[in-house]
């Protein structure tokens, strides 16, 4: 992931979540760090996670069909519908046609994907995270508060912003969406 200065990273997160409105594991060393309006900001170590995924290069606003393709693939393969998004680029710095992300489904280690799909293992790492409920645009408004806390506590973001879609999809009303947002930290 390209290194952003703190201001650029803040702009990235704000911009990203304005453009992207798409629609568990063991908690180790969980520590309550701050309470917000309707969610808590916490830190934890996350276990390794394997995902089968598709890469996307282009506007983040065009991700709906990829999520649909992944949902169909999960159904076809009998996979649990555990969607994940990893977002790498700042839409205020990188042209829309060059924005990079990976969208996937959590799978068991050793999963063999069909042609056109890739598998990656994300190693265990520490994150600042929040489980947020409601429409994605409302969630996006809270990212500056989380990032401010990260900066104030002296953490450094060490990877792509990751979203775990706990409750989502076209059949879920926006008020009932549940997303775990993660900021990997050093």
CATH number, domain at 36? 3.20.80.10
Please state, in angstroms and rounded to a whole number, the distance separating the CA atoms of residues 72 and 118.
16
Helices and strands (H, E) in the chain, number of each type:
4, 9
pLDDT in the model for residue 20: 37
Residue partners of 21: CB distance under 8 A and separation at least 6: 135, 136, 137, 140
- 1 found inside a domain: no
Domain that holds residue 93: 6-184
- 131 found inside a domain: yes
Number of domains in the chain: 1
Please state, in angstroms and rounded to a whole number, the distance separating the CA atoms of residues 179 and 2.
25
List the one residue out of 126, 123, 122, 130 whose CA is nearest residue 186. Answer: 126
| Model pLDDT for residues 70-101, shown as the tens digit of each residue | 999 999 999 988 999 998 877 778 899 999 99
Structure-token match 């990877």, residue found: 159
Please state, in angstroms and rounded to a whole number, the distance separating the CA atoms of residues 174 and 176.
5
- 69 found inside a domain: yes
Please state, in angstroms and rounded to a whole number, the distance separating the CA atoms of residues 166 and 84.
9
Q: How confident is the model at residue 37 (pLDDT cuts 50, 70, 90)?
A: low
Worst-scoring range by mean pLDDT, 24-33, 66-75, 174-183? 24-33
pTM of the model: 0.76
Residue 184 pLDDT > 80: yes
């Amino acid at each position: 992931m390209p290194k952003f200065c703190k201001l650029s990273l803040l702009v990235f997160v704000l911009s990203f979540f304005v453009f992207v409105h798409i629609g568990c594991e063991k908690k180790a060393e969980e520590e309550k760090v701050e309470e917000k309006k309707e969610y808590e900001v916490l830190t934890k170590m996350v276990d390794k996670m394997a995902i089968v995924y598709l890469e996307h290069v282009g506007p983040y606003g065009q991700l709906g069909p990829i999520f649909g393709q992944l949902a169909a693939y999960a159904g076809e393969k009998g996979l649990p519908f555990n969607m994940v998004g990893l977002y790498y680029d700042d839409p205020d710095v990188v042209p829309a046609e060059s924005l990079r992300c990976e969208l996937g489904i959590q799978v068991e280690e050793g999963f063999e994907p069909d042609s056109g799909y890739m598998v990656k293992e994300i190693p265990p790492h520490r994150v600042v995270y929040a489980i947020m409920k409601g429409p994605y645009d409302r969630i996006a408004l809270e990212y500056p508060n989380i990032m401010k806390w990260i900066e104030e506590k002296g953490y450094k973001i060490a990877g792509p912003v990751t979203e775990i879609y706990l409750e989502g999809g076209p059949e879920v009303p926006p008020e009932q969406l549940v997303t775990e947002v993660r900021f990997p930290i050093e």
